[in-house]
Amino acid sequence: MRRNKGITLIALVITIIVLLILAAVSIATLTGENGILTQANKAKNQTVIAREKEEMNLAYMSAKSKKNIITAEDLNEELKNNGVKANATGEEEKIKVRFEETKHEYIIEENGTVTQEIVKSTITIAKPEQNDPEKPNGGEIYEDANGDKVPIPSGFTYKEGTVQDGLVVTCDNDGSEFVWVPVQKVVAEDEKSAIETKKGTATIKIEPANNEIKIKNITNITEENIEKINETTYKVKENGQYKFEITDGEGSKTDYTVTVSGIKVIENKAMAVIQSDGNYRGLLYNFEGTTSSVIEGCTTTSDSYREPFYLLGEYWDEASTNKNYFTDSSLKEEYKNMIKSVEKYKGFYVGRYETSYNGNVVKSVKDVEPMSGATDDNQKWYGMYNKQKQYANKNSLDSVIYSSTIWGSQYDAMMNWMLTNQLERDRVITVTPGHDVIQTGGTPTDVINRIYDLGGNLFEWTLEACETAYRTVRGGSFNGGTFSPCHRAGVDPNDKGTGRGTRLAIYIL
């Protein structure tokens, strides 16, 4: 019988399988995460990084020996002299160096510390949540350069500015100028809930510094005030430093710190509280430093500053002397309608200048004498109130806007808005020296958020009441000593006084 000495098919298959297993093991040993080739590449890369850091250190020390403060231009000169192909950019506190061949990027701190930049971050700041105004009938919604929206009624045209620093509109008919006062929180339940704090947020997005770098993992080290959106994106609600541990594609770990600044915190301060009968009482504020607080009792008592209020005191009784102007119920209705409008449109307009009275018409324009009781008995408080109330009708705008003497809570809303402007807020409580009566807008320094004449020319009558017999004046005056724009005092409304004028306010119907 003949014997077959060749290899069997089964043995051949087994041999091939064994060889494949050995090959896989060998490949893993060479190229796996901890493989020989991978480790060799890591060692090579670390050697390159060490060399580049040394080249930067040499260039930095050489530049430092010549001058105390090093700029990117100084470092570029030294790198070029040393034959290093790299480019430095940035400010003296933090200079970035990028190597042409490896595309590696590094940061040199002001103290000479060198760190490799393997990732970069993009920070996007979101403003505190705001409610958009409704569009007025026949008017438009104007969006300013910061994305803030303002309702502009029919018959008015945008002139200049933003909501933040004062957005000005012009009346098409008479050229009067008005500034928008934004109000986000209009009505509160009571005095204690008048102030509402809202914060913005920031989004941090972490990416590779260049296309040569791969990010394997990002670990958030800062646990508080941070929310993970996805593997590379985080949301934070507080300014500060946020730390991450970055693992690159080669397994190297680096601590990375992102500094967030610019998150805004705003206080929305209400203008009124609603009462059981459906009417409103105004919230009025004391101003101290760069803050304000509600005047205690302004919505509940009868012996403080308050509004709306019908004077019934021993010195002046509006029910018997001024029936032609308003009644107790009509005054409350005026205030209620104003608050409803501010709620709907998220703000109101005030005259850019103190009110003037020329040609039997009131205006808010520059370079004219402000209206006062100096020459006309009809220009006492009640006369000024009546004339400003007629402004809308005389400009054929009574179907679009309602015009009035400014309410005390409107004046305080204007002051509170000005406090949010970091560049101007100190001026709200800054005492302004008195001066002779000059034309409106005549003092270039007497302006906050594009609104003039707050520290002078004249004390400005408002609809706010004081005790039971007085109306309230606000701001400063040429003959009343030195006062700040937020100053208030009660005065007999029948006193015409040479140092008292007023300011128009309009709200959208």
Mean pLDDT along residues 161-171: 96
Are residues 275 and 145 part of one domain? yes
- Burial profile 72-85: b = 16 or more Cβ within 10 angstroms, e = fewer: bebbbbbbeeeebe
For residue 125, being part of any structural domain is answered with no
Q: Are 256 and 247 in contact (CB under 8 A)?
A: no
For residue 126, being part of any structural domain is answered with no
Residue ranges of alpha helices (H) inside 279-401 are: 318-321, 328-345, 381-389, 391-394
Are residues 213 and 331 part of one domain? no
Are residues 374 and 359 part of one domain? yes
Q: Are 258 and 204 in contact (CB under 8 A)?
A: yes
For residue 115, being part of any structural domain is answered with no
Mean pLDDT along residues 151-165: 96
Are residues 377 and 255 part of one domain? no
For the chain, the average pLDDT equals 85
pLDDT tops 60 at residue 316: no
What local confidence, expressed as pLDDT, does residue 359 receive? 74
For residue 435, being part of any structural domain is answered with yes
For residue 119, being part of any structural domain is answered with no
Are residues 209 and 181 part of one domain? no
Are residues 14 and 66 part of one domain? yes
Mean pLDDT along residues 486-504: 86
For residue 436, being part of any structural domain is answered with yes
Weakest mean pLDDT among 79-93, 368-382, 401-415: 368-382
For residue 39, being part of any structural domain is answered with yes
Helix (H) or strand (E) holding 351: strand 347-351
Are residues 401 and 486 part of one domain? yes
Are residues 357 and 392 part of one domain? yes
pLDDT tops 80 at residue 314: no
Are residues 352 and 217 part of one domain? no
- Structural domain ending residue among the three candidates 215, 235, 263: 263
- Structural domain ending residue among the three candidates 239, 263, 287: 263
470-474 vs 459-466, strand pairing mode: antiparallel
What local confidence, expressed as pLDDT, does residue 469 receive? 84
Mean pLDDT along residues 113-123: 79
Weakest mean pLDDT among 11-25, 150-164, 406-420, 436-450: 11-25
What local confidence, expressed as pLDDT, does residue 92 receive? 67
> How many domains does one find in the chain?
3
Are residues 393 and 476 part of one domain? yes
Are residues 236 and 101 part of one domain? no
pLDDT, tens digit, for every residue of 40-60? 666 777 788 888 888 888 888
pLDDT tops 80 at residue 203: yes
N-to-C CA span, the chain = 117
- Structural domain ending residue among the three candidates 105, 129, 164: 105
Range of the domain at 213: 201-263
The residues facing 474 across adjacent strands are 460, 488
Are residues 231 and 145 part of one domain? no
> Which of 13-17, 376-380, 423-427, 472-476 has maximum average pLDDT?
472-476
For residue 30, being part of any structural domain is answered with yes
pLDDT, tens digit, for every residue of 74-93? 888 989 999 989 898 887 67
Residue 272 pLDDT class (50, 70, 90 cuts): very high
What local confidence, expressed as pLDDT, does residue 27 receive? 65
pTM: 0.75
| Helices 72-81 & 36-64 angle (0-180, nearest 10) | 110
